[in-house]
Amino acid sequence: MLKRAFDMAFSLVLLVLLLPLLLVFALAVALTSPGGAFFRQVRVGRGGREFRLLKFRSMRPGSEAKGQLTIGGRDPRITGVGYFLRKTKLDELPQLWNVLVGDMSVVGPRPEVPKYVALYTAEQRAVLQVRPGITGMASLDYIDENELLARAADPEKAYVEEVMPAKLALDLRYVRERSFLLDLRIILATVGKVFGGWGGAVPTTR
């Protein structure tokens, strides 16, 4: 109950405070490339329930048909404004709405697309016991995931066989050890890592 109350208050306050900035970003995305300001994608949430995750659109229309993985910071499908938003993680801000309505939490395992959730083992599916988050242990540890995949000979294989299992191991650790204090540490570490280059004292695998 404390976590949900925090999520609602945190997301509502930020949505109100950041509304002018969100409008600027939305206009910048919509006016610099066709396709609208927002990108919606089906993800899997708590209990295996699917929902539509919201982001600022950072790629050109039709890009998802060419693959759901983003390879490298300079993926040619990414727009100019989209590159800035992805680099600073500001493309994730619309997910505060997902948090407010209960699809997500501020902190938790990142929600995955159904294609990859179908590959989870019975043990890995335990991450679906909690609401997915905007940030989390795995998000911090693999903040450079796109660059890692760009260096792989077969990015899809590298993601499925190496990156995804490592991220799920951290997500499972979060599910076992989750607490309000840990959530606060992850939030502070996320702010530090995105805007200051330091990650804070949270468990990592690398």
Separation of alpha carbons 14 and 7, rounded Å: 11
**What pLDDT was estimated at residue 88?**
85
In the predicted structure, residue 201 carries a pLDDT above the cut 60: no
The model's pTM is: 0.87
* Strand pairing report for 133-135 and 50-56: unpaired
| Distance linking the first and last C-alpha atoms of the chain | 33
Residue 154 identity (one-letter amino acid): D
In the predicted structure, residue 175 carries a pLDDT above the cut 90: yes
pLDDT tens profile 5-30: 999 999 999 999 999 999 999 999 99
Q: Cα 195 to the chain's mean position, in Å?
A: 16
Q: How confident is the model at residue 105 (pLDDT cuts 50, 70, 90)?
A: very high
3-class DSSP state for residue 178?
Answer: coil
**In the chain, where are the structural domains located?**
2-195
pLDDT tens profile 149-174: 888 888 889 999 999 999 999 999 99
Provide the greatest CA pair distance for the chain: 45
In the predicted structure, residue 196 carries a pLDDT above the cut 80: no
